[in-house]
Structure 1
Amino acid sequence: MRALPLLLLFPSLALAQTGLIVQPATPPRGVTLPPTSAALVDEATALSVNPAGLRFIGPGQLFYLHERNLARDQVGDGLFLGTSLLGGLGAGFSLEWMRGRGLPDYRKTSLGLALGSKTLSLGVGYHNLSSDNGALDRLSGFDLGLTLRPSRFLSVGAVVRDVNADEEGPFTLPRSYNLAVGVRPFGERLTLGADYLAPEGDWGDGRLTYTLKATVVPGFGLGAGLSHGLGADRSLALQFAATLDSSRFGLTYAGGGVEGGGLDHVVAVRLSTQRYPALRLGGGSVALVDLDDRLVERGGLGLSLLGITESDPFLRLMRWMDEATKDPRLKGVLLKVSDLPGVDWAKADELRQAILKMRSAGKRVMAVLYNVDDRAYFVGSAADEVYALPSSSLLVNGLAGSVLYLGGTMEKLGVTWDVARVGEYKTAPEQFTRRDLSPAERETVEAYLDAQTAHDVAAVTQARRITPERLQEAWGVGILTSTRAKELGLVDGVLLPEELDAKLRALVPGASYDPYYSPRDEREGRWSGRRRIAVVPVLGTIAGGKSRKSPLGGEVVAGAETVALALERAQRDPSVVAIVLRVDSGGGDVLASELMYRAVLEAKKYKPVVASMGDVAASGGYYTAMGADEIWASPTTLTGSIGVFYIKPALRGLLGDKLGVNEEIITRAPMATLLNPWKPWTEAEQKTVQAWVNSAYDDFITQVSVSRKLDKAKVDAVARGRVWAGVAAKEHGLVDSLGGLMEAVASARKRAGVPDQEELDLTVIGEARGLFSSLGGEPGVDTKLLLSPEPALPPGLQALVRESGLESVLLLEPGLKAVQPFTLSVR
C-alpha cells in the first residue's frame, strides 16, 4: 500500500506535519501553517504553499511561526520574509527548524520569486534541507506555482511540488500536484477554498482540503481547515484559527491535528511595513491637510528636463479627498489654508464642494487660515469651524478683474500687428494691439465678475450664517486682522497654537491625530484590481506634439499627440469603464484642438466620455471638450470663446527703423510672403487671411451645432469669441451640468452602468512631462517621482511669467489660434 502525507490541511498540516513515512522516506516539508490554500495564500508564507503568491505580498513582511505537538514531542520554528518589488516581481526567503519528527533534526532553507500582475502570477521556489548528522544535506527541491485571479470572486492555484523529485539515500521528495480554487461569494469578508493534492502517477490516491477564512470585524478573523483522503488513507485532519491584527503587527493561534496524532499548536506573529486593517478600538483618525503643500508643483529643474514629474497636484488632491471621504477610519480633517497655488475660482469651488462632501459623509472639518485672500477664504469658509491665527491677515476685500495690455509697449517698440478674426468678442489679439479694454471685452469682464461675485457672496454668507451686508462691511475694511474677522463673523475664533489639540478633541471626541494618514495605506485583500475610470488631462496651452511642462514652472502644454494616444489607450484598456476628459485650457492651436476633438469622438464610440472643465475651458479648450457625451463646468468656469483668429507681427518698424536691420525679399508668387513677420499685410493679403479665418470659424460653429445639438444660428449668436461663466454657459446650452471633477466622475460611472456598490479606481492617463521627455518617445504615463520633491519655480516667479505673457509664446507661432480672448485675473 502506498501512503501519502496529509498534504493539504491549511494546506500544510500534512506537508509540514504528518509524514506517514515509507521507504524511501518522505521528510515533512516544514512548519505547519494556519488554514490557507494554494489559491488563497498571498503573504510571505506563500513560499511553503504556492510561490506564485509572493507576487501579491506588497511591501515587506516578516512572519515568525512556532509549532508544538506535546503528544508527539514535535517542535518547529519558521522565519519567513517576503516583499513585492517594482515591475510586478515578488521575492521570498524562509528558514525553518524541525525537531522530533522521527527524523534527524533538520533545517529547511527556501528562496522564491514570482512575476506577474494582479490577475496572473507565476512563481518558482527552491528548498534545501540540511541536518546535524548530514543525512539530508544533499536533498533539495523545486516548486512551480501559478495563481490566476480573473475576478474579485474567484482565484485558481496550481502547483507542481518537487519538480526534480530528488532522492538522497533513504530519503526522497516525490513529485506531486496541487490544484486549488478559492471563491468569495459575498465579498472579501468570507473566503472558501478547496485543494486537491495527489502524487504523480496516482491521481486517485490524493487528498482534499477545505479552507474557510472569515473576517468577523476589521482586525479580527477566524479560519478553519478540514482534510481527508480519497484513497487508501482516509484519515481526517482538522484545524481552527483566530487572528488579531493591528496595523503593523498580527498574532494568529491555530490548533488542530490528525486522527490519533495529538493536538498541534501553531502561533504565528506578523510584522509588516504595510498597514493591515486593524481593530477600530478608538474614535478614528484626524488628518492634517496642508492645501498649499499638496498643490505645489513638485520636481526640480533637472528632473523636469528629463521628463520626471509628479501628476498634476490638483487632480491628485481631488482624488485624495474623494477617497478620504469614503474612508470610515477618518473622522476629522484639519485644513491649513493659505495661498492655494495654481487654483483659480472654478477649482476653488471644486475644493469647496469636496469639503462639503466630507462634512455630508460625517467627517468634521476645521480650517485654520493663515494669510488668505477672497478665493482662499471662499474655500476655508466651507469647514465646520474656521479659525485664524493671531498674526493671520485676511485680504477679504471683494473681487476685481484685471487684464494686462501691451499695446503701448508695442507702439514704443515700433511693432505693428496684423490680425484676422471673427466676432467682436474674439479679443485675444487686443492684448498686443490695444492700451485698454474694448467695449466688447469690458462687457465680457463685467458679466463674469458679476457672476463670480454673486457666487462668492451666496456661498460665504450661507456657510458663515451672516448677511451680505456684513460681508460687504468686511470688504470695506480692506485687510482684516484676526480679531476684526472674528467680530464680523468671518471666523469662529483666534486660535493660539497651544490650543489646537484641545480644539481638535472638542471637534472630534475620541479621535486621534494621525500624521501619516492616507486613505489607501491599508493592505487590500482583493483578488483582482478594481475597474477604472480614466482621467485624460488637457491642461494648459493646446499645441501639436506631446504634452510637456516648462522647466521654469510657467507654461504647460497640452499636446494633441499625447491626448489622442491617452484616449486611445483608455478606450482599448478593458479595465477602463469610462473616460473623463479634464479640460483646464484657454485654447491654442486650431489644428491640435481639432485632432483632440476627433479623438474624443472616436473614444466615445466605445466608452462613455464625460468632460470636466476646470478654471477655464475656452476656445480650443471648449473645442476639445464639446465632443464628449456630457459636459460639466463649475459655476464660474470661463468657457465658450467659440472663435478663431490669426495674429502676425510686423517687425520692420522695430528692426528696420530703430535698429537698422534690413530684409530683402525676392518672390515668385503674389502670396509668397503672406506669413512673413517683416512687413504688414497688403489689402489682398488681409482678405486672404480673413477668408481663411472665416472658414475655420464656420467649421467651429458647425461642429458645436452637431455636438451640442443646437441650431447653427443660435450657436453663432452665443459664439463670436464671447466668454461665459459656467452658469451662463449652461443656460445657453454650451454645457450640460454644473459641478466639478468628482461630479463628472460620478456621471461617467452612471453612464457606464457600474453598480453603486462597486468600487472603482481613478487613474490619470496622458500627463505632461518635462521639456525633453519626448526625446525618449511618448512621455511615460506611469512615471513616478522617486527622488525628494522640491518646487520647480517659486510661485512668485511663476506669476511673473504668466503676467508678462511669456507663457503664451505659442500664441505667436504660425497657424490659426483658438484662444480665450484675455488672461483674466480675478482677486
Structure 2
Amino acid sequence: MRALLSLLLLPGLALAQPALVLQPATPPRGVTLPPTSAALVDEATALTVNPAGLRYVGPAQLYYLHERDLAHDQLGDGLYLGSTLLGGLGAGFSMEWMRGRGLPDYRKTSLGLALGGEKLSLGAAYNGYSSRDDALDWLSSFDLGLTVRPTRFLSVGLVVKDVSAPEEGPYSLPRRYNLAVGLRPLGENLTLSADYLAREGDWENGRLTYTVLGHLVSGVRLGAGLSQGLGTDRSLALQVALTLDTSNFGVTYAAGGSERDGLDHVVAVRLSGQKYPAVRLDAGSVAMLDLDDRLSARGNPGLSLLGITGSDPYIQLLKWMDEAAKDPRLKGVLLKVSGLPDVSWAKAEELRQAVLRLRAAGKRVMAVLYSVDDTAYFVGSAADEVYALPGSSLLVNGLSASVTYLGGTMEKLGVTWDVARVGDYKTAPEQLTRRDLSPAQRETIEAYLDTQTGYYEMQVAKTRNIPPERLRESWKAGILTAARAKELGLIDGVLLPEELNAKLEALAPGARYDPTYSPRNERELRWSGRRRIAVVPVLGNISGGKSRGSPLGGEAIAGAETVALALERARKDPSVVAIVVRVDSGGGDVLASELMYRAVLEAKKAKPVIASMGDVAASGGYYAAMGADELWAAPTTLTGSIGVFFLKPALRGLLGDKLGVNQETLTRAPMADLLSSWRPWTEEERKAVQAWVDSAYDDFITQVAASRSLEKARVDTLARGRVWSGAAAKERGLVDSLGGFVEAVASARKRAGVPDGEELDLVVLGEARGLLSSMGGEPGVLADLLPAPEPALPPGVRGLIRETGLDSPGMMEPGLKASQPFTLTVR
C-alpha cells in the first residue's frame, strides 16, 4: 500500500462531491475538502457537506480551495461563502469548477439555508450544474441535513444527498445517506468522528470513515481521515492536513492518496469576520479600558425595533473585566479613568476589586487619571501604576453628603403635606416637609460618612503604600495639581502623551497594544452552549407594570411585571443553573416591591437565587432582594431603610389662596375623598391612614424576620426606616456577605454545584428588548417603539430634579411607598 491514500473517500467529501454516474466514463467528483465530517463541519464549506452546519458559521466566512489530482490530471477550484444571520438563520453560497483530461468540465453552484439553535439545526441546499454537455447542464439536486449537539462532547449529523435522485441523459445522482457521530472525550482540543455513507438500496457497499482533528497549540491544527470500503470495494484511503491560523486569515494544506491512485493536493485559504485562535508570535496583548466609554449606555433606536438593544453597561463592564482576568492572551491593561457616570461608592468598590483581580491574575494595570473626584481616584488607585496628565483635574478633597430640602419652598407656595409613617428614621418625605436635617437623618448620614471615609483611607493606603495621613493632607488642598499628587504619593508620576508608548512597553515587555482587544472575541469551538447564570436587574425606582425609563431623564423605573416575568423565565429555563438578582434601587411602591419578593421566593424553589446589591438596595429595594438564598452587599452599599410611608399633598393653599382656584366635593361616605390632594386630612382620616401604614410596616418586618431568620422584635429595632451601610448591615444580620457582583455570581455557581472547571455564560433577563421580543412575552414594547429623545431639560435642571426626588413620578402617586430618603449624594 502506498504511503499516502486519497481523501476522495472521506464520507464528508463523498457527500459533498457526489460522483456523477456516467456510462461509460465518470466525470470529476467535485472539489475535495480537507478532513471533515457531517457531524463536525461548521464553517462555510458546510454547504457541500451538511447544510445544517451553516447555522454554526458565525460572522461571514469566505473560503477558497484549489485541488490538483496528479493521478488523473484533474483540477478543481471552489469558492464558499457562509454566515449566520439574525435569529439563528445560517446562509451559504458556493461555486465549484472542475476540469479534467478526457472528461466534461462543469460548474456546480449551491445555495443553502439552515435554521436552529445551539443544540439542533436543520438545513437544506440546492445544487445546480452547468456545462457545455447539454445533459449535464440540466442536472440539479437538493440536499437535506440535520445536526444535533446535545452536549459539549457529542455531535450527530444526518444528511440525505440528492433527495430527488435526478437523472438527465446518461447522468444520474443516486440518493445517498450519511450518518455521522462526533466525540470530544478530552474537550475542544481533540475531536473524533465516524461516518457511514451508503447509496439507497446498496447498504452493504457503504464506506466507513474515521476523522481525527486536533489543536496542538493556539493557531496550529492537525487533521487526518481514514476511509475503508465495507462491500466488494475494500480499498483504503488516507488524508492528512495542517492548518495555520491568524485571527482573520488561515491556510490549510492537505495531501492524500490511496492504493489505486496517486497523490492528491488541496490548498485552502480562509478569510473570516470572526477571529480564530491565532498563532502567537508575541508576548501577548495590552488593552485599553476606557471606563467612561464602557459605562455609557449603548443602543440604536432603529435596531431596538427589532429587539436589538444593549444590556446594562455597568454589568457588561464587570463581565468584561472578569473575563479579561481569565484570558491568557492579555498581559496588561491601560485603564483610562475620568468621571465614572452613575457610579457611587459601592459600584466604585466593585470596580476597584475588579482591577485588583486583574492584577492577581498576572495582568499589569496602569491607570491614567483625567478629571477625577474621590470616587474615581478610589478606583484608579488600585492599579499597579497610577499617572496623571499635566492638565488633569484631581478633585481629591474628601467626602461630603448633601440632601436638598424643599420644605421652605412648599411653605412659600402654600402647599402642605400629609404624611403617615413608622419610625423616626423613615425620612423619605422630609425633603418635601422640612427645611433641614432631622436628628434621625443626621445620625444616619454621619454614621455612613464615617464608615465610608474610614474604608476609603484604609484601601488607598494599602494599594498606594502610603500612610492615611497623606490622603488626609491632600484633602486640605481642595483640588490637587498632578505635581502635588505626585509629591504626596497619590500617583506615580505626571505622564506626557509622548511618553505613553514607552510606559506601555515597560508595563508588559514584549506585549503589543491591541486597540480591538476583547475577551471571548474568538470563534467559539464548543458544540453546545454553556450553561448559564441569569442576571435579573432591579434598577431604579420600583413601580408596577413594565421596566422603563424616567420621563424626565432621571433614574430608570424597575417594573414589577418585568422583574417577575424575568424570574419566571429563568426558573423555567433548563440552561439556567442559578439566578442573580442585581439590585440598585432605593425602593418605591410597596405592592410592586412585594410582588418582586414573592417572585424571588417562587424562583428559589427551583434553583439558587443570590442577591447582589449595588450602590443602594434600600427599603423596597431591600424588600425585593431579601427573599434570596444569600444577600451580598459592598461595604458601602446603602441598604436597610426597612419601613413604609404614605405621602399626600394638600394644594388648596397654592391653588385656592394664591391662584384663586376653587374645588367643591360631594361625597356619600365619611372618607370618600381620603386621597384628595386639595385639603389636609382630618384627625379621623390621619388615624385611618396611620393604621394602614402600621399594618403594612408590620407585614414588612414579618417578612424580613422570616427571610433573615431573625426575631421580629429584633428586626423592628433595625428597621423603622434606618439606613445602614453594607458593613453595618452584615454585622446586624441583614445581609450575609460583603462583596460585589462577581462574588455573588461565584456564590450562585457554588450553590448550583457547578464544577470549578466548567465555564458559564451570564445572560441578563428582564430588560426591554424591543417590539419583536415583546410579541414573544418580553416586556417593553413602548419603551423601544420610538427613538428615545434627548432629555429636553438642561443637565443642571435634571440634576436638581434628581436631588429632590421629583424624577420619580411614582412617588407622587397615591399608595404606600417603601423608599429610602429621596436622594443622598455622597462625594
TM-score range, shorter chain: over 0.9
Distance 1:164 1:305 in 2: 41
State the SS of the aligned residue for 2:103: coil
State the SS of the aligned residue for 2:44: coil
2:563 is matched by which residue type in structure 1?
V
Distance 2:403 2:242 in 1: 68
Partner of 1:69 in structure 2? 69
Partner of 1:349 in structure 2? 349
Q: Write out aligned runs for 1:207-286 (5 A).
A: 207-286=207-286
Distance 1:302 1:66 in 2: 43
Distance 1:735 1:711 in 2: 15
Partner of 1:292 in structure 2? 292
Q: Does structure 2 conserve the Cα–Cα contact (< 8 Å) formed by 1:308 and 1:785?
A: no
Partner of 2:119 in structure 1? 119
Pair 1:534-2:534 in alignment: yes
Partner of 1:813 in structure 2? 813
Distance 2:88 2:573 in 1: 18
Distance 2:413 2:788 in 1: 45
1:172 is matched by which residue type in structure 2?
S
Structure 1 residue 59, shift from structure 2 partner:
0.6
Alignment CA distance shift 1:261-1:301 (3 Å): closer
State the SS of the aligned residue for 2:435: coil
Write out per-residue CA displacement over residues 731-780 of structure 1, whole angstroms, 9 at most, x where no aligned residue.
Answer: 00000000000100000000000001000001100025799998997436
Q: Does structure 2 conserve the Cα–Cα contact (< 8 Å) formed by 1:309 and 1:785?
A: no
Alignment CA distance shift 1:461-1:519 (3 Å): same
Q: Write out aligned runs for 1:310-349 (5 A).
A: 310-349=310-349
1:664 is matched by which residue type in structure 2?
E
Partner of 1:452 in structure 2? 452
Distance 2:785 2:536 in 1: 19
Q: Does structure 2 conserve the Cα–Cα contact (< 8 Å) formed by 1:600 and 1:624?
A: yes
Partner of 2:428 in structure 1? 428
2:270 is matched by which residue type in structure 1?
R
State the SS of the aligned residue for 2:92: strand
Alignment CA distance shift 1:798-1:253 (3 Å): farther
1:414 is matched by which residue type in structure 2?
G
Write out per-residue CA displacement over residues 771-796 of structure 1, whole angstroms, 9 at most, x where no aligned residue.
Answer: 99989974369x99999999999865
Partner of 1:516 in structure 2? 516
Structure 1 residue 206, shift from structure 2 partner:
0.5
Q: Does structure 2 conserve the Cα–Cα contact (< 8 Å) formed by 1:184 and 1:192?
A: yes
State the SS of the aligned residue for 1:81: strand
Structure 1 residue 187, shift from structure 2 partner:
0.4
Distance 1:733 1:789 in 2: 44
Q: Write out aligned runs for 1:327-476 (5 A).
A: 327-476=327-476
Partner of 1:747 in structure 2? 747
1:582 is matched by which residue type in structure 2?
R
Partner of 2:483 in structure 1? 483
Alignment CA distance shift 1:201-1:545 (3 Å): same
1:578 is matched by which residue type in structure 2?
A
Alignment CA distance shift 1:257-1:21 (3 Å): farther
Distance 1:51 1:235 in 2: 28
Partner of 1:708 in structure 2? 708
State the SS of the aligned residue for 1:746: helix
Distance 1:610 1:115 in 2: 35
Structure 1 residue 306, shift from structure 2 partner:
11
Alignment CA distance shift 1:369-1:222 (3 Å): same
State the SS of the aligned residue for 1:206: strand
Partner of 2:109 in structure 1? 109
Distance 1:655 1:534 in 2: 50
Distance 1:297 1:792 in 2: 18
Q: Does structure 1 conserve the Cα–Cα contact (< 8 Å) formed by 2:26 and 2:103?
A: no
Alignment CA distance shift 1:776-1:328 (3 Å): closer
Alignment CA distance shift 1:307-1:686 (3 Å): farther
Alignment CA distance shift 1:628-1:18 (3 Å): closer
Distance 1:470 1:629 in 2: 42
State the SS of the aligned residue for 1:391: strand
Partner of 2:498 in structure 1? 498
2:464 is matched by which residue type in structure 1?
R
Partner of 1:147 in structure 2? 147
Distance 2:630 2:638 in 1: 17
Partner of 1:181 in structure 2? 181
Q: Does structure 2 conserve the Cα–Cα contact (< 8 Å) formed by 1:557 and 1:768?
A: no
Write out per-residue CA displacement over residues 589-640 of structure 1, whole angstroms, 9 at most, x where no aligned residue.
Answer: 0000010000000000001000000000000000000000000000000000
Pair 1:49-2:54 in alignment: no
State the SS of the aligned residue for 2:390: coil
Structure 1 residue 295, shift from structure 2 partner:
0.9
2:405 is matched by which residue type in structure 1?
Y
Alignment CA distance shift 1:24-1:685 (3 Å): farther
Distance 1:124 1:413 in 2: 73
Q: How many residues align?
A: 822
Write out per-residue CA displacement over residues 426-483 of structure 1, whole angstroms, 9 at most, x where no aligned residue.
Answer: 0111111100011111000000000010111011111111111111111111100000
Partner of 2:525 in structure 1? 525
Q: Does structure 1 conserve the Cα–Cα contact (< 8 Å) formed by 2:804 and 2:822?
A: no
CA RMSD of aligned residues (A): 2.5
Pair 1:727-2:727 in alignment: yes
Partner of 1:610 in structure 2? 610
Q: Does structure 2 conserve the Cα–Cα contact (< 8 Å) formed by 1:7 and 1:197?
A: no
Write out per-residue CA displacement over residues 642-670 of structure 1, whole angstroms, 9 at most, x where no aligned residue.
Answer: 00000111111111111111110111111
Q: Does structure 2 conserve the Cα–Cα contact (< 8 Å) formed by 1:299 and 1:789?
A: no
Distance 1:540 1:654 in 2: 31
Distance 1:372 1:323 in 2: 26
Alignment CA distance shift 1:565-1:295 (3 Å): same
Alignment CA distance shift 1:16-1:302 (3 Å): closer
Alignment CA distance shift 1:581-1:757 (3 Å): same
Alignment CA distance shift 1:273-1:505 (3 Å): same
Write out per-residue CA displacement over residues 533-571 of structure 1, whole angstroms, 9 at most, x where no aligned residue.
Answer: 000000000000000013553131000000000000000
Distance 2:301 2:44 in 1: 40
1:622 is matched by which residue type in structure 2?
Y
Structure 1 residue 805, shift from structure 2 partner:
2.6
Partner of 2:557 in structure 1? 557
Q: Write out aligned runs for 1:162-177 (5 A).
A: 162-177=162-177
Q: Write out aligned runs for 1:694-705 (5 A).
A: 694-705=694-705
State the SS of the aligned residue for 1:208: strand
Q: Does structure 1 conserve the Cα–Cα contact (< 8 Å) formed by 2:82 and 2:90?
A: yes
Pair 1:31-2:40 in alignment: no
1:340 is matched by which residue type in structure 2?
L
State the SS of the aligned residue for 1:45: helix
Q: Write out aligned runs for 1:588-599 (5 A).
A: 588-599=588-599
Distance 2:107 2:792 in 1: 55
Distance 1:488 1:343 in 2: 26
State the SS of the aligned residue for 1:181: strand
Distance 1:213 1:464 in 2: 50
State the SS of the aligned residue for 1:383: coil
Distance 1:138 1:24 in 2: 19
Structure 1 residue 525, shift from structure 2 partner:
1.1
Structure 1 residue 27, shift from structure 2 partner:
4.6
State the SS of the aligned residue for 2:566: helix
Distance 2:457 2:435 in 1: 32
Structure 1 residue 22, shift from structure 2 partner:
6.1
1:199 is matched by which residue type in structure 2?
R
Q: Does structure 1 conserve the Cα–Cα contact (< 8 Å) formed by 2:580 and 2:609?
A: yes
Q: Does structure 2 conserve the Cα–Cα contact (< 8 Å) formed by 1:642 and 1:719?
A: yes
Greater alpha carbon shift after TM alignment, 303-312 vs 397-406: 303-312
1:471 is matched by which residue type in structure 2?
L
Alignment CA distance shift 1:410-1:118 (3 Å): same
Alignment CA distance shift 1:521-1:101 (3 Å): farther
State the SS of the aligned residue for 2:341: coil
2:264 is matched by which residue type in structure 1?
D
Partner of 2:58 in structure 1? 58
Partner of 2:667 in structure 1? 667
1:490 is matched by which residue type in structure 2?
L
Structure 1 residue 810, shift from structure 2 partner:
1.3
